[in-house]
């Protein structure tokens, strides 16, 4: 009750009292008694209203209490509580509306939007090299005095995500799309046009959110890396050395192919404490065009491939942890030409591979053997068998904690990552033809050569590493176009 209302009541009572005094001379005693009763009632109401008003004022005064809060340096800050006014509420509403407008405007103008879940990723390699013999396109051959160069061997950018997320069973439909200007051999092209790399859909037949101990099974349709051996199925950001193994590159196994591939595993061993999962058996099989990236099939033949890998069923603490044996096989057909003339569209192309993988941090060993039987054309347009063979052996040792799964699962700041230094040695041997001579492919081991690499990988951030390698290439038979040479290569690789 406000003060103005109390004043109005008082004035009304005074006026009524004056009116009663003037009226008393002409009224009967009964009427006068009735009027006095009404005045008593009004007086009681006035007293009640006055008491209620005083109580409200007393409560308001008590609410305006001064509180003192102390900061870390000991200084006190006084906070005075007061009643919230209409202006305060209107001001808060205005601030909320301004925030909503600014947030909506920034989301519309500064945020990349997608209709589905999307992750942007990429890999870039920045390289400098020097060798004591001139080269062209990475192959030993005299090209004037050029012995050193700066180049970008890989620049890849892509998107991945899912088109359908199964929240109940985890049978998701995923996609991946990437572009790169690098050639399939890993050397840079002569232009900056981006070419399609990965472009596929992947459906998971088994649950992906029911735990690590569940088996995996998925089918991938589109352009993708093929599951053959170790090197061929390693993406750009996970390759351990600066240059790729020779045999998979020369035989076209590192090239992405168009087709359908099914991958899965059974009986995985899981150690949740170390974030470790090792399937007893991994398998893959599929069919592809077999003629390389971004091409439709050029013959009626298809490449059929299969891979099986067995991991020793031991626990995480065992010395044989992550000891894996794999075997791969590819059977396909290729076009055989002589001076541009097609001699056969169903030439033999059978490739067999065997590999051993042992990665027990801090040390590890890998070995891969590949044998390819193909048909080539002679000068008289005959088809003859050729046998290519390659060996790749890699030994590495790591100082630091970056590759321990237990370290990866620890909570840490975004830009804190334990640094690691990894030294490695790689031996590569490749013989393009163990059989008789064929035009363009000298036989009897004439084109065989070895490559020794001594390298150092310095992982100084979660997604960035510096690599340094000393390479020595030695030919079984030197010619004017293929001479032994030494090379030093430095490379920064960063991913996002």
Domain boundaries, the chain: 3-58, 110-495
pLDDT tens per residue, range 251-298: 999 999 999 999 999 999 988 877 788 999 999 999 999 888 888 888
Nearest to 251 by CA among 395, 427, 433: 433
3-class DSSP string for 369-396: EEEEEEEEECCCCCEEEEEEEEEEEEEE
pLDDT of residue 297: 85
Count of CB atoms situated within 10 Å of the CB of 124: 18
Architecture in CATH of 110-495: Beta Barrel (2.40)
pLDDT in tens, 294-314: 888 888 889 999 999 999 999
d(CA 478, CA 252): 25
Tell me the percentage of the chain whose pLDDT exceeds 70.
Answer: 77
pLDDT digits 0-9 by tens, 319-342: 999 999 999 999 998 888 777 777
Apex 186 CA angle, 246 and 306, nearest 5: 60
- The span from the CA of 232 to the CA of 467, in Å, is 20
Picking from 455, 393, 454, 394, the residue whose alpha carbon sits closest to that of residue 421 is 455
310 CA to centre of own chain? 27
Residue 428 in this model has a pLDDT that exceeds 70? yes
DSSP 6-43: HHHHHHHHHHHHHHHHHHTTTS-HHHHHHHHHHHHHHH
Question: Which two tokens mark 78?
Answer: 């006084």
Name the strand (E) or helix (H) holding 271. Answer: strand 257-271
Residue 458 clears pLDDT 50, i.e. is over it: yes
The per-residue pLDDT for 11 is 43
pTM value is 0.75
Helix, strand, coil % in the chain, rounded to nearest 5:
20, 45, 35
The tens digit of pLDDT for each residue in 39-58 reads: 777 777 767 777 776 766 55
Question: How many beta carbons lie within 10 A of that of residue 5, not counting itself?
Answer: 11
Which tokens in the block code for residue 451? 């490559």
Buried b (16+ CB within 10 A) or exposed e, 258-287: bbebbbbbeebbbbeebbbbbbeebbbbbe
Q: Is the dihedral of CA 273, 276, 280, 286 positive or negative?
A: positive
62 Cβ contact list (under 8 Å, min separation 6): none
Structure tokens at 176: 């991946």
* End-to-end C-alpha distance for the chain, whole angstroms: 68
Q: At 139, is the pLDDT very low, low, confident or very high (cuts 50, 70, 90)?
A: very low
How much is the average pLDDT of 188-213?
83
Most confident range, picked from 42-46, 438-442, 454-458, 482-486: 454-458
């Amino acid at each position: 009750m406000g003060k103005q209302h109390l004043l109005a009541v008082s004035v009304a009572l005074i006026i009524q009292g004056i009116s009663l005094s003037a009226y008393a001379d002409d009224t009967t005693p009964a009427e006068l008694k009735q009027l006095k009763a009404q005045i008593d009632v009004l007086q009681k109401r006035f007293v009640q209203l006055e008491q209620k008003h005083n109580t409200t004022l007393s409560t308001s005064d008590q609410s305006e209490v001064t509180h003192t809060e102390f900061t870390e340096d000991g200084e006190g800050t006084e906070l005075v509580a007061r009643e919230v006014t209409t202006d305060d509420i209107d001001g808060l509403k205005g601030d909320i509306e301004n925030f909503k407008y600014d947030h909506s405007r920034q989301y519309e103008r500064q945020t990349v939007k997608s209709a589905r879940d999307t992750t942007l990723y990429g890999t870039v390699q920045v390289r400098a090299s020097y060798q004591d013999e001139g080269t062209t396109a990475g192959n030993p051959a005299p090209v004037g005095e050029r012995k050193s160069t700066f180049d970008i061997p890989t620049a890849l950018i892509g998107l991945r995500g899912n088109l359908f997320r199964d929240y109940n069973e985890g049978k998701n439909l995923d996609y991946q799309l990437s572009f790169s200007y690098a050639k399939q051999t890993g050397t840079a092209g002569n232009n900056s046009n981006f070419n399609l790399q990965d472009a596929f859909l992947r459906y998971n037949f088994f649950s992906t959110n029911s735990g690590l101990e569940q088996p995996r099974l998925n089918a991938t349709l589109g352009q993708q890396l093929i599951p053959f051996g170790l090197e061929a199925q390693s993406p750009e950001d996970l390759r351990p050395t600066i240059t790729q193994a020779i045999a998979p590159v020369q035989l076209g196994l590192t090239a992405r192919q168009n087709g359908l591939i099914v991958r899965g595993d059974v009986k995985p061993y899981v150690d949740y404490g170390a974030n470790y999962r090792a399937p007893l058996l991994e398998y893959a099989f599929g069919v592809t065009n077999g003629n390389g990236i971004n091409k439709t099939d050029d013959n009626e033949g298809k490449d059929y491939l299969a891979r099986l890998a067995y991991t020793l069923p031991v626990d995480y603490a065992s010395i044989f942890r992550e000891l894996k044996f794999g075997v791969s096989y590819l059977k396909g057909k290729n076009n055989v030409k002589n001076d541009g003339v097609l001699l056969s569209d169903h030439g033999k192309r059978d490739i067999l591979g065997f590999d051993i993988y042992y990665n027990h941090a801090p040390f590890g060993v890998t070995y891969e053997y590949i044998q390819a039987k193909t048909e080539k054309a002679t000068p008289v347009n005959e088809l003859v068998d050729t046998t290519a063979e390659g060996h790749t052996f890699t030994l590495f040792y790591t100082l630091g904690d970056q590759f321990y799964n237990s370290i990866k699962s620890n909570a840490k700041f975004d830009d804190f990552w334990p640094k690691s230094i990894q030294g490695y040695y790689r031996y590569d041997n490749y013989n393009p033809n163990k059989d008789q001579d064929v035009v363009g492919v000298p036989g009897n081991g004439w084109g065989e050569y070895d490559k020794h690499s001594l390298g150092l990988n310095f992982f100084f951030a979660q997604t960035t590493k510096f690599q340094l390698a000393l390479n020595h290439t030695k030919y079984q038979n030197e010619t004017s176009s293929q001479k032994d040479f030494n090379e030093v290569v430095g490379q920064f690789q960063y991913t996002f």
